[in-house]
């Protein structure tokens, strides 16, 4: 599948979610936090198309990470906190929304 097709397919999966809804995914270690300076869709396309070099660079720069214990603790106290989300099986990519 081409990156254009992957991007089109993933665009349909872009959504918003509250932390409460993401907890089961965090419990199975499937949540990946994407830094706000990255485009969530670009990261999803890179992961889905196995672009190892780009993904590894983001990991090395801590731009995509697993949620820390501190983050999970904070989010558990504010379960209505909203995230932009993108499902790229088996992962759920999340990006914190700015407080409104």
Instruction: Give the model confidence (pLDDT) of 83-97 as tens digits.
Output: 999 999 999 999 998
To the nearest 10°, report the CA torsion of 26, 27, 28, 34. 10
CA atoms within 13 A on the CB side of 35: 12
Q: Which residue segment(s) compose the domain that 12 sits in?
A: 3-96
Higher pLDDT, 97 or 77: 77
What is the pLDDT, as a whole number, of residue 8? 93
pLDDT digits (tens, 9 = 90+) for 40-65: 999 999 999 999 999 999 999 999 99
DSSP letter (8 states) at residue 38: S
- Considering the entire predicted model, what is its pTM? 0.92
Number of domains the chain is built from: 1
How many CB atoms are located within 10 Å of the residue 100 CB? 4
């Amino acid at each position: 599948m081409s990156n254009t097709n992957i991007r089109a397919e993933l665009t349909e999966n872009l959504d918003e979610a509250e932390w409460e809804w993401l907890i089961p995914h965090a419990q199975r270690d499937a949540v990946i936090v994407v830094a706000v300076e990255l485009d969530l869709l670009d990261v999803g396309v890179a992961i889905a198309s196995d672009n190892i070099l780009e993904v590894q660079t983001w990991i090395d720069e801590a731009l995509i990470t697993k949620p820390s214990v501190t983050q999970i603790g904070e989010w558990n106290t504010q379960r209505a906190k909203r995230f932009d989300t993108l499902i790229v099986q088996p992962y759920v990519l999340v990006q914190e929304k700015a407080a409104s």
